Amino acid sequence: MQDFINIGKRIPKMDAEDKVTGKAVYIQDLKVPGMLWGKILYSPHPHARILNMDTSAAERLPGVKAVLTGYNTPLIKFGFYKDNMPLKANKVCSYRDEVAAVAATDPDIAEEALGLIRVEYEILPAIFDPEDAMKEGALLIHEEHLGGKEKKPTNILNLPWRLVAGDVDEARKNSAHVAEDRFKLTWVNHCCMGTSGCVARFDLRNNLTIYSNTQIPALAQRDYTEALAAMGLEGKKARVIKTTIGGAFGSKLDTYAYEYIAILLAYKTRKPVKIIFTREEEFFATSPRQPAVIDIAQGCTKDGTFTFRDVRMVLDNGAYTSWGATTPSVMMMPISSLYKVPNVRYVAKCVYTNNTYSQAFRGYGNPQATFAIESQIDALAEMAGIDPLDFRMRNANTPGEVTPQHFNITTCGLRECIDVVAQKLDWRQNRGKRDGRGIGMASMIHVGGGARVYKSDGCGTIIKIDDFGTVNVITGATDMGQGADTVIAQIVAEELGVRVEDVIVTHTDTDICPWDVGAHASRTTFVAGNSARGASKKVKEQLLEVASRSLGENPENLDIRDRTIFSKLDPEKKSPLGKILRASHYTAGGRMVMAEHFYDPPNENLDREFKGNLSVTYAYGTHGVEVEVDKETGQVKILKYVAAHDVGRAINPMLLEGQVYGGAAMGIGYALTEQLILKNGKVINPDFRDYKILTAADVPNIEAVVIETDDPSGPFGAKGIGEPGLVPTAPAIANAIYDAVGVRIKELPITPEKVLAALKEKTK
């Protein structure tokens, strides 16, 4: 192994000191002179026609500066299906529909004004079950939405999620064993500890600046620019400035009504307008994880070799469309490529209902699909009379493989992951006792080298060096707590021969930072890292060239170590970086040292059949868990948790472990406790008392095992790790529960009630 100075080191997160001292500025903390407060009035019905609105009393309230509705604002269409608008006119289709908004000098006044707005509704029948909403003649959420070949009104979205490889029907006939099940996944909330919010302001020339929490500065900028055009402000500019982000996890991969409302209010009042969600709003008016009804069948030969995988899904789209509707594009990945499965078929339908609409959430559909696949693998292995460990090993992916979806598997540590988990759980010894204690495992695949979901998968970096040798890295990447800033600094420091503390990473302003497609697909370490590395190489070349003049040595003979440029031939010839820079700046005909680099990995867009090498490398992992199930109460207790991940290389093991612990803890919540409960479209548990995320008292100790496969395409060998920690958690736990007490729970979360009911059913 190479000797690195900064790579592989447990370096603290760059902004940690600001955060532990309370100095970091979050959107909640931001105040702009003259700022007004915006508040939003939501629909009290899941489906209703707006007959009449009277905002006059609200407008008369002292301190109120503007009241906006869908009737007095320009139409802005947003969202990936362009079916949403900031303020709804004519009709509301869910409880989170925004019907009016107020800007006032004080948040309490704004709140009071909302109470003075009178809206008359005609309540319409509503539909909450996507399978009902699919039926012929079902009531329509959006009457104007046409679909299918005949272009008829329908609730089914025009999204052709369909992947076929090989011949599933034939393979099924030839299978010795076939398992068939239905799994159901429900909504869970991101629960970012910092709620959503933004501050929008216009300058005198009507250019917009918006302070936001976004994970997609460049794409959000485009959305806002389109909104400006819709407002009649064609050609005006949008600048996005990120404050410190209080958690994201995918929730900030889209732009939302509240942001457009803040923009509209700011334009109307020509004052900065701030909107901050309450925790209740955060629960009911942000977009949770995509729910799914999954029908899955998998088959194998007598000896436990996979023959086929056949999956059908119905996704509750809710009333509008965000990235939740595109999660099938990621679900395809485990369906086609987790283990070697020669014949694959996957069809998914997204259906409008009067429920809330969903978004990206760590894993982007992968946890949902993996829950079904990995839970059923244990069932299939049991039918075949094979230990599920052996079953997984037999079918595990290997380097050099091309999967049915045309993924080229390069480095692949899946077998190592399975193996280490089995060892740590003492698999052969502990499995199959059914004595209330049980062990289980589940694996995952995810994109490890970004993913070409847009036309570009690129990220830009600019590096410049000042008079004192301080390295300014200006990146397109977004740090939302995961540590992108630090990992980038380590990569640059390693490449340039400086210390991490010499590096300042700026990532907050679209007027300054280069372009990037966003913090999704666990791509930042890989893509922004490679981009930063590329820029570092260019800067280094310039540095050596500049130094060659002052040191009288050929650039090829120079190198940099610990902030000093030196000659490899004559160690006496050396000079500190800052001195070289100063000489360069203060000399007639001088130059500055600065470079940019745009890195776009050689990833392919999926073709019309949804095939293609989406990512230049893939990340693998296996989680293993030991549980104890109380047969009297149905309580599941986690006794041991092992999370093994093929990460390529750990650039910063401490931050990497943080991603694995955080992901797994979130995954345990997904498996056992978390559930956004919607009753006829209404969220009935919009607080932390009734929506249970894990506390410090609940979380088990997690052993993170890092498998390094040194990926040739990754920066210093690294692959992505942001999402993987959450992906296989729920099925690993479900499998352990089955091993403990012999019941298979197919709906998340696995609450004590569900376990008890299943135990009762079993003893019948």
Binding site for ligand FES (CB under 6 A): 193, 247, 481
CB 668 → other proteins: shortest distance, Å? Answer: 9
Nearest approach, Cβ of residue 104 and ligand FES (Å): 23
Which is closer to other proteins, CB of 247 or CB of 728?
247
Q: Residue 548 CB: number of other CB atoms within 10 A?
A: 18
Q: How far apart are CA 200 and CA 269, in angstroms?
A: 11
Minimum CB–partner distance for residue 242 and other proteins (Å): 12
Of 21 and 429, which has the nearer Cβ to other proteins? Answer: 21
- C-alpha–C-alpha distance, residues 220 and 198, integer Å: 13
684 is a site residue for other proteins (CB under 8 A): no
Smallest separation, CB 279 to ligand FES (Å): 7
To other proteins, the closest distance from the beta carbon of 474 in angstroms equals 22
Residues 19-38 that bind other proteins (CB under 8 A): 19-26, 28-29
Q: Which residue bears the tokens 């006939």?
A: 173
When asked if residue 664 is in the footprint of other proteins (CB under 8 A), the reply is yes
Chain position whose Cβ is nearest to ligand FES? 193
Q: Strands 197-202 and 208-212, how do they pair?
A: antiparallel
Binding track over 215-254 against other proteins, x by CB under 8 A = -----------------------------xxxxxx-----
User: What is the Rg, in whole angstroms, of the alpha carbon atoms belonging to the chain?
Assistant: 27
CA distance 88 to 90: 7
3-class SS of residue 654: helix
* Rounded least distance, CB 486 to ligand FES, Å: 14
User: Is residue 408 close enough to count as binding other proteins by CB under 8 A?
Assistant: no
Is residue 15 involved in binding other proteins (CB under 8 A)?
yes
Name, in order, each residue with C-beta under 8 angstroms of 474's C-beta and a sequence gap of 6 or more: 461, 462, 463, 464, 505, 506, 507, 512, 513, 514
CB closer to other proteins, 18 vs 132: 18
Measured between its terminal Cα atoms, the distance across the chain in Å is 59
Among 2, 17, 115, 753, binds other proteins (CB under 8 A): 17
Nearer to other proteins, 176 or 504 (CB): 504
CA distance 716 to 12: 19
Given 288, 440, 648, 663, the residue binding other proteins (CB under 8 A): 663
Tokens of 414: 């899946």
Cis peptide, bond prior to residue 749, ω within 30 of zero: yes
Question: x/- binding map, residues 179-208, to other proteins, per CB under 8 A?
Answer: -----------xxxxxx-------------
DSSP 189-243: ----SSPPEEEEEE-TT--EEEEE--S-HHHHHHHHHHHHHHTT-TT--EEEEE-
Q: In Å, how far from its chain's centre is CA 715?
A: 21
Verify binding: residue 591, other proteins, rule CB under 8 A: no
Please give the structure tokens belonging to residue 417: 């992951």
Report, in Å, the least distance between residue 191 CB and other proteins. Answer: 5
Rounded to the nearest whole angstrom, what is the least distance from the CB of residue 194 to ligand FES in the complex? 8
Half-sphere exposure of 398 (CA within 13 A, CB side): 4
Q: Which does 662 bind (CB under 5 to 8 A by kind): ligand FES, other proteins, none?
A: other proteins
The vertex-746 CA angle with 627 and 192, nearest 5°, equals: 75
| Cβ nearer to other proteins, comparing 206 with 278 | 278
Give the interface segment with other proteins, choosing from 80-88, 435-443, 508-516, 662-670 (CB under 8 A): 662-670
24 binds, among ligand FES, other proteins, none (CB under 5 to 8 A by kind): other proteins
d(CA 144, CA 82): 13
x/- site string to other proteins, residues 690 to 719, per CB under 8 A? ---xxxxx-x-xx-----------------
What is the rounded distance in angstroms from the CA atom of residue 299 to the CA atom of residue 381?
10
If contact means CB under 5 to 8 A according to the sort of partner, which of other proteins, ligand FES, none does residue 561 touch? none
Give the tokens for residue 627: 């549980």
Answer for which of 450, 662, 681, 728 binds other proteins (CB under 8 A) is 662
Question: Phi, psi (5° rounding) for residue 275?
Answer: -125, 130
Choice between 18 and 170, CB closer to ligand FES: 18
Residues interacting with other proteins, by CB under 8 A?
10, 12-13, 15-26, 28-29, 190-195, 244-249, 278-279, 480-483, 654-655, 657-658, 661-666, 687-689, 693-697, 699, 701-702
